[in-house]
Amino acid sequence: AQSVTQPDIHITVSEGASLELRCNYSYGATPYLFWYVQSPGQGLQLLLKYFSGDTLVQGIKGFEAEFKRSQSSFNLRKPSVHWSDAAEYFCAVGDNFNKFYFGSGTKLNVKP
């Protein structure tokens, strides 16, 4: 069965530091991959998506993610974190049957 693993439950980084959030998926065919962000008390907002083509995708708010098929990974990165980036981040995969599977999320804290 398809699954998404986000191995880091909590991450704390200093403001201005770089960020990488890990995501590993289990899916036999070519996945459609997504990163969402959820601020407290709000729904999920799409940051970026990967369907095909260039394995490095750019998203909103200065985020990017790289698809690595050999590692079954789709890690999210940002070169310089801002205090407003503190939120929970979810990785998701869409399969050939148009079903979506979400990871359990990574909570990002940003130190001033």
Partner 1 sequence: EAGVAQSPRYKIIEKRQSVAFWCNPISGHATLYWYQQILGQGPKLLIQFQNNGVVDDSQLPKDRFSAERLKGVDSTLKIQPAKLEDSAVYLCASSLGPDRNQPQHFGDGTRLSIL
76: exposed, middle or buried (C-beta count within 10 Å: 0-12, 13-18, 19+)? buried
Stretch that binds partner 1, among 18-26, 60-68, 70-78, 93-101 (CB under 8 A): 93-101
Shortest separation between residue 112's beta carbon and partner 1, angstroms: 26
* 8: enclosing H helix or E strand: none
- 42 binds partner 1, rule: CB under 8 A: yes
Give the closest residue to 31 by CA, choosing from 60, 58, 65: 65
Determine if 32 is a binding residue for partner 1 (CB under 8 A).
yes
Question: Where in 50-89 is the site for partner 1 (CB under 8 A)?
Answer: 51
CB 105, min distance to partner 1, A: 5
Decide: is 95 part of the binding site for partner 1 (CB under 8 A): yes
Q: Is 112 in the site for partner 1 (CB under 8 A)?
A: no
User: Which regions of the chain does DSSP assign to beta strands (E)?
Assistant: 3-5, 10-14, 19-21, 24-26, 32-38, 44-50, 56-58, 64-68, 73-78, 87-94, 100-102, 106-111
Under the rule (CB under 8 A), what is the footprint of partner 1?
A: 4, 32, 34, 36, 41-46, 49, 51, 90, 92, 94-96, 98-100, 102-105
